[in-house]
Amino acid sequence: MPKLQKLLRKRRRVPIGDLNSKIFVEDRIQDAPSFGTVDAAMTFGEFDGATEVWAKVDTKSGKVVFDGIETDRRVTHEITFRRLSGLTAESWMRLQDGTRLDIVSVEDLDGRGEFQIAQCEATGLNTKEGSAR
C-alpha cells in the first residue's frame, strides 16, 4: 500500500519590506442632521485599533466587484497590511496624500490571522468631511 502524502497549497507570503506606505484607518461617524435639514453629516474619527499602519498599496484599474448593497463597485486600490482586529467594510482608509478609500471588502490572507487584504474604492475626498453615498 502506497504511503499517503499530504499536498500543501502554496502559502501567500508578504515580505515585510513591501509594507512601505503609511495608511490611516478611520471609522466613519454619522451625525444627526442639523435642525431644519435632512442631510446627515459624516465625519471620520480614529479607529479603535492602530490608526496608522504600514501597508503595501497596489493600484488596480478596471476591476469591478459586486457586493450585497450596490450592484457593482469599482476597486481602485488593494491594500495589504498586518491584521487589524475589528476592521470591517464600514471602516475607511486614507493614504498619505489625503486620498480617502472606502473599503469594499476585507480578506484574511490564507486564513492565518497574520495579514489582511482590503479592496478599496477611491472617493477622492481630501477633507475630514464625508459625503452620504
For cell 492565518, the residue is 112
Which amino acid makes up residue 52?
A: E
13 contact partners, CB below 8 Å, separation of at least 6: none
User: pLDDT tens digit string along 2-22?
Assistant: 777 766 666 677 888 889 999
Nearest-angstrom CA–CA distance, 33 and 78: 33
Instruction: Tell me the average pLDDT across 106-123.
Output: 87
Instruction: Tell me the average pLDDT across 118-133.
Output: 64
pLDDT at 20: 92
Domain extents in the chain: 18-30+41-126
Residue 106's DSSP bridge partners are: 118
Using DSSP's 3-state secondary structure scheme, residue 77 falls into strand
User: pLDDT tens digit string along 38-68?
Assistant: 776 666 666 665 588 999 999 887 666 665 5
Superfamily of domain 18-30+41-126: Bacteriophage SPP1 head-tail adaptor protein (2.40.10.270)
CA distances from 4 to 1, 7, 109, 129 (A): 9, 9, 28, 59
